[in-house]
Structure 1
């Protein structure tokens, strides 16, 4: 998802936080020293800011390294538990950490357990009704609860000043290996308020469930049908995606996600997995751009097997670090013979893969691509 797409997807969250600004007088985009006045780092890192109640953002304003296509960023993590959106990595604050990002990534950090409402893809504000309403629930600790109240109004008048709006409280609780999410009936109304809507629950960076129930009814695993109520699993981000059928907004929806025994206690094994997969795919794309002189070696091709068979997640992930190391070794084997070879000699060597003339600049680009792929893989190495 591009930054532009993410901005539009977050509109329900942004609109709710804008209402909070109206009620409190505190801008929802504000410096961190508003929330952490005693922390010196909240003053020194002037580019980092809070984005509503659940997020902090640290935009990258300098160029990526041309040889790696990554930019390093020092980020201050405030007190508490936070999760990096792009990688699923858990970070404990207060701490100053150095992270790397591609040009497609924005450093966004969420409070552990945060509930973030989103909307389906749209080209402009209000293009279509927000249906289904997407709810991202980030991992909670055992016994932890979190809540968020979605705000909505007609968005086309000042009737909200007279109390013409609706609130929808949402809560999540983790007890052992079971997560429950409650969507409470709306309070209030406005003229264009939908009478019913579906819900899409997204649970990033966690094990797949053994069972999912919506209002007591079991939902079916549907790996390839995103429009039918049921649940799916994204093996690249380790996210459970639950689609609940349309319900009247005046009725409660209770979702129960049951995972296998020991899932919560072994969740740390998943830490940063999504970030490693992103680097794996980036290296894959970088190498394939060099075809026919190079292409992604077999160990670099990480399929979507977990998405189609979530029950194999533990077995697949138990071998992931080994496969990742094999991927790095494969790229290193491609790079070693050409790392210090003069460009004219490298050009002659590459001709055997293609009968056309290889100019030194093209040969140098090939070498840089191999180096870039290896750096990306090193950056994403599972911890």
Structure 2
């Protein structure tokens, strides 16, 4: 069935609909990963976004029970060049089409994803709507401009109530701003005793849980949309070791006096090279973010830049010079894909051990 993607600048892409026959709007972005579409679909950081996959054939290995990053997908839509409706893989349990259909997520195939990606790279991310073929373009464009940008993504995807994943190791309070399950799994594999708490949990409530360390998770949207989290981090500095990932990295920077801004088209993919400044070592990383910490804003703060993006020089890692706290913009837990940065969870636990020795 023919459907269309209408962008806020009036550009129209016509293709074949798959998944749900829903009308959905969102920020249109692109991801350069060759695999991992199931993880992309279920990553809460894509809340409110329509994702274009630059790899041409999507759905060929289907959907399985093991590779989800969340239970309920928050993505608004999926754009692909070609979709495979009859997947073949030993782990396959259902097709991409049936999964999207069950979850109420629209897909669009058969469009020129290279053209769409070039458009986003040239003009920046755009608002768009996947809708019926007979929708009036002018009315849709007007609606997209009136609707503005979404600002409640973290509230939408964060866990509602705390829960406990027991372990015999260090107690880690994991603040869920839109947490990928891979982060929790990385801590469980290291025998950590993990308590997952909502994004609006106060520093007082966190310290009442007697944490050995606090991990600030990834999540969607603008870090300035969660000012309460910035205040919470400020209060935790010097009281407990902190590790921030992606949105958690940006929030840690804001709590330290730095600023953040929106990137033109963001970093989304599984092959982004990052340089560790002290050693020159390059890690190939998975990334998914539309905002960045402003490099110039680090002057006058007590933050040291530890990692930089090879492609554009943006801030990819920070360390606090006064407190036991560090952060990275990329995803050290990412799977499938590179495992280069997985050691950062061990670095976090080592920092906790070092701090205990000082007491």
Same fold (TM over 0.5): no
* Larger relative contact order (CA 8 Å, sep ≥ 6): 2
What TM-score does the superposition give when structure 2 sets the normalisation length? 0.25
Greater CA radius of gyration, 1 or 2?
1
What TM-score does the superposition give when structure 1 sets the normalisation length? 0.24
